[in-house]
């Protein structure tokens, strides 16, 4: 069974998952029921303009995210999270009782008040939701856990919107919807009672109750970690993209596809299931690690299928009728929407996992709060940009095209600022197209702290293969000529590789390399070296040089031996002539392996001993 689905059987995850699922489900049942009631039966509640109310009410739900996210982040960092989750769920019961009264009595003001308070309740739960996961899941489980949460959230949104609209359509009485929202709130509270304890990240934190100054402080703190900050911007951009599309689905379904309400539900279902599927697939595609290479992959899909959605959309209104007729006539439109959702899942799940793993533990909830603030801001910005583009004369399909092209610009900008995303994408593509990589013993690579990795040197992509397999970034020491290889040099520089030369070639560069290695180990980094000092041109290992002895004498750290298997004879090896001279020499998806063994103590890390270990790991398979 996949690691992520096994989590659904464990107490550390299942009660939390059910709690957040029921919360998202109930929010959307209530919001959709209210907006449906206002849109189609406003006369029962008020004399105000229904279209004005339908526009204002979603903004009222988002408003607490601006006002209280910063305070919520502080609360989540200061107090135990399971207790907070139960308190938030009790608050939800009170809110839904107020909403039930409004539905049953046909009173608008209790419903409006409940909507604002529902936004506040979601604001309070948001930092708890995402900072809970890294406390209870291992790093290898974070992608799968986040994938399940994202899948559950989008399925809950879909089911909640369908049920909320249905309860209003099926009954003139508010009793059914009132009982439903209160019942779901109680069920969520019961699930929260089983959530295991989560120690506070900073119990001595003094809460700043001024939302304006604390919001500014949170945003400034998030900016202190460049990769985390840009990941937050990337997540917020996804919500901009998604909000732009979802807001147009009702008009797109009715005006261009010529369908009824069932067509809108079909579009929403296809998109939600796409995001859910992409979120679940992230664990398999990433090998249970935080794989940033999926982010550019997702961004490419968001642009390509956004453009194709424009090309596949009808240019004038049609009269297709039922959802079955629309599905038969506009299958390409549905496929594009599903694939936008799928690649959106590839895009967003690794970014959430990255924030959880790279933000400071003592400020994790406040970082999530900053993310929530920006998400809300980008969704509001989406509405403003949409209105502007419509005033400029764009049609709905043209809006889809503009959003897809904006996405390409945003992606290029972010990857220019943080090349790590693009580097990881190149490595991910290599391992999932040219090779099939099997790994064994990589648990011997320490999760933290300094260490040196030694490995046999078979091809020009050895460092990339090891990088793809290991969970931690590795600073490789490599020949300065290989370091300057066209195209690959970009990847090596991005990965902060350390160029080295022999004493005969460049003694100054040699000395600088050893200094850089010492600094890297002092900083707690992993350093990777190929002790042979050159790529094999015979398939056999060359003698290990004395560089490893000099490194561990200066900085005594564990040494992890590794061996690459199966790369000899590949396009990037020197078999039968220069490397990279015979494309597809062994075809696509050729099998390779990386094997590691237990760390060797510095005193035993001699060239002869390490070569013997690596040769044994390699065996007969070159």
- Structural domains counted in the chain: 2
pLDDT over 80 (residue 235)? yes
Torsions phi, psi for 234 (to 5 deg): -65, -40
Q: Are 100 and 178 contacting, i.e. CB atoms less than 8 angstroms apart?
A: yes
Helices (H), 171-288: 175-192, 211-223, 226-251, 261-286
* Beta strands at 474-479 and 498-500: parallel, antiparallel or unpaired: parallel
In a domain, 423, yes or no: no
Predicted model pTM: 0.74
Same domain, 236 and 112: yes
Neighbouring residues of 34: CB distance < 8 A, sequence distance ≥ 6 = 57, 99, 111, 115, 164
User: H or E element: which one contains 451?
Assistant: strand 451-455
Lowest mean pLDDT across 6-20, 269-283, 441-455, 476-490: 476-490
Closest residue by Cα to residue 472 from 358, 566, 597? 358
Closest residue by Cα to residue 435 from 272, 586, 333? 586
Lowest mean pLDDT across 44-58, 62-76, 141-155, 381-395: 44-58
pLDDT given at position 538: 86
Of 356, 384, 417, which one is at a domain's C-terminal end? 417
Q: Are 207 and 68 contacting, i.e. CB atoms less than 8 angstroms apart?
A: no
Same domain, 337 and 446: no
Same domain, 451 and 412: no
pLDDT over 50 (residue 239)? yes
Strand ranges of the sheet holding 559-565, from the earlier edge strand across to the other edge: 435-440, 590-596, 559-565, 451-455, 526-529, 474-479, 498-500
Torsions phi, psi for 599 (to 5 deg): -60, 145
Percent of the chain with pLDDT over 70: 90
Same domain, 381 and 446: no
Distances in Å between the Cα of 130 and the Cα atoms of 70, 365, 367, 459 are 15, 8, 10, 41
**How far is residue 209's CA from residue 194's CA, in Å, rounded to a whole number?**
30
pLDDT given at position 503: 83
**How far is residue 449's CA from residue 615's CA, in Å, rounded to a whole number?**
26
Same domain, 577 and 525: yes
In a domain, 425, yes or no: no
pLDDT given at position 488: 65
**Residue 392: how many other CB atoms lie within 10 Å:** 9
Tens digits of residue pLDDT in 590-608: 788 899 999 999 999 999 9
Same domain, 411 and 434: no
In a domain, 424, yes or no: no
Of 369, 384, 417, which one is at a domain's C-terminal end? 417
DSSP of 266-277? HHHHHHHHHHHH
DSSP secondary structure letter of residue 544: P
In a domain, 547, yes or no: yes
DSSP of 176-193? HHHHHHHHHHHHHHHHHT
**Residue 224: how many other CB atoms lie within 10 Å:** 12
In a domain, 330, yes or no: yes
Q: Which residue has the higher pLDDT, 54 or 312?
A: 312
Q: How many CA atoms lie within 13 A of 40 on its CB side?
A: 13
Q: Which residue has the higher pLDDT, 457 or 411?
A: 457
In a domain, 422, yes or no: no
Tokens matching residue 511: 């000395």
**How far is residue 498's CA from residue 493's CA, in Å, rounded to a whole number?**
8
Same domain, 182 and 243: yes
**How far is residue 397's CA from residue 38's CA, in Å, rounded to a whole number?**
28
The parent domain of residue 302 ranges over 3-417
Tens digits of residue pLDDT in 385-404: 888 898 898 888 999 999 99
User: H or E element: which one contains 106?
Assistant: none
Mean pLDDT throughout 429-457? Answer: 84
pLDDT over 70 (residue 108)? yes
CATH, residue 275: 1.20.1250.20
pLDDT given at position 468: 79
Give the dihedral sign, CA 100/102/106/111: negative
Percent of the chain with pLDDT over 90: 30
Closest residue by Cα to residue 300 from 375, 219, 405? 405
Neighbouring residues of 340: CB distance < 8 A, sequence distance ≥ 6 = 245, 271, 274, 301, 302, 305, 306, 309
Of 417, 441, 463, which one is at a domain's C-terminal end? 417
Same domain, 387 and 503: no
Distances in Å between the Cα of 327 and the Cα atoms of 262, 267, 273, 330 are 11, 10, 16, 5
In a domain, 576, yes or no: yes
Same domain, 437 and 577: yes
In a domain, 102, yes or no: yes
DSSP of 498-523? EEE--TTT-HHHHHHHHHHHHHHHHT
DSSP of 289-306? S--TTHHHHHHHHHHHHH
CATH, residue 606: 3.40.1130.10
Same domain, 102 and 230: yes
Same domain, 435 and 413: no
Same domain, 138 and 249: yes
């Amino acid at each position: 069974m996949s690691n992520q689905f096994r989590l659904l059987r464990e107490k550390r995850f299942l009660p939390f998952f059910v709690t957040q699922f029921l919360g998202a489900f109930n929010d959307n049942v209530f919001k959709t029921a209210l907006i449906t009631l206002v849109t189609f039966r406003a006369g029962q509640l008020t004399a105000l303009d229904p279209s004005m109310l339908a526009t204002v009410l979603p903004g009222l739900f988002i408003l607490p995210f601006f006002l209280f996210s910063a305070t919520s982040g502080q609360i989540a960092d200061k107090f135990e999270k399971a207790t907070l989750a139960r308190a938030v769920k009790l608050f939800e019961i009170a809110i839904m009782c107020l909403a039930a009264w409004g539905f049953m009595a046909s009173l608008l003001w209790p419903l409006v008040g409940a909507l604002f308070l529902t936004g506040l309740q979601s604001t309070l739960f948001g930092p708890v939701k995402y900072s809970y996961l890294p406390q209870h899941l291992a790093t290898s489980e974070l992608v799968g856990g986040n994938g399940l949460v994202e899948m559950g959230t989008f399925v809950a949104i879909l089911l909640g919107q369908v049920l909320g609209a249905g309860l209003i359509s099926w009954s003139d009485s508010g009793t059914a919807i009132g009982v439903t929202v209160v019942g779901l709130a109680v069920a969520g509270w019961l699930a929260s009672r089983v959530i295991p304890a989560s120690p506070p990240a900073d119990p001595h934190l003094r809460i700043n109750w001024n939302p304006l100054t604390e919001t500014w402080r949170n945003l400034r703190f998030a900016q202190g970690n460049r990769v985390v900050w840009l990941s937050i911007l990337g997540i917020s951009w996804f919500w901009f993209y998604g909000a732009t599309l979802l807001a147009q689905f009702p008009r797109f379904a009715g005006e261009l596809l010529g369908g009824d309400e069932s067509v809108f539900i079909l579009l929403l279902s296809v998109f939600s299931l796409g995001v859910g599927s992409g979120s679940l697939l992230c664990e398999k595609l990433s090998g249970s690690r935080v794989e940033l290479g999926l982010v550019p992959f997702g961004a490419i899909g968001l642009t390509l299928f956004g453009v194709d959605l424009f090309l596949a959309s009808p240019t004038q209104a049609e009269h297709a009728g039922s959802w079955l007729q629309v599905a038969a006539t506009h299958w390409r439109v549905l496929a594009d929407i599903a694939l936008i959702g799928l690649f959106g899942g590839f895009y967003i799940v690794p970014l959430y996992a990255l924030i959880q793993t790279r933000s400071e533990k003592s400020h994790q909830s406040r970082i999530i709060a900053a993310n929530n603030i920006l998400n809300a801001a980008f969704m509001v910005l989406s509405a403003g940009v949409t209105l502007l583009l419509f005033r400029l004369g764009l049609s709905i399909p043209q809006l889809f095209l503009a959003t897809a092209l904006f996405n390409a610009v945003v992606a290029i900008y972010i990857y220019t600022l943080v090349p790590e995303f693009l580097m990881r994408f190149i490595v991910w593509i290599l391992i999932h197209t040219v090779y099939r990589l099997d790994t064994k013993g990589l648990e011997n690579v320490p999760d933290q702290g300094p260490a040196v990795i030694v490995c046999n040197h078979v091809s020009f992509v050895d460092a990339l293969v090891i990088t793809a397999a290991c969970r931690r970034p590795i600073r490789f020491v490599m020949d300065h000529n290989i370091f300057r290889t066209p195209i690959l040099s970009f990847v090596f520089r991005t990965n902060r590789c350390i160029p080295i030369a022999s004493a005969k070639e460049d003694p100054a560069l040699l000395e600088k390399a050893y200094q850089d290695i010492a600094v890297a180990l002092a900083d707690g980094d992993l350093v990777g070296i190929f002790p042979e000092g050159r790529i094999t041109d015979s398939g056999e290992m060359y003698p290990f040089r004395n560089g490893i002895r000099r490194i561990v004498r200066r900085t005594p750290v564990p040494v992890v031996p590794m061996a690459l298997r199966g790369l000899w004879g590949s396009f990037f090896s020197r078999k039968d002539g220069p490397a990279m001279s015979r494309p597809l020499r062994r075809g696509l998806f050729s099998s390779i392996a990386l094997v590691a063994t237990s760390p060797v103590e510095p005193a035993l890390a001699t060239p002869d001993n390490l070569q013997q270990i690596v040769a044994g790991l390699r065996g007969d398979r070159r």
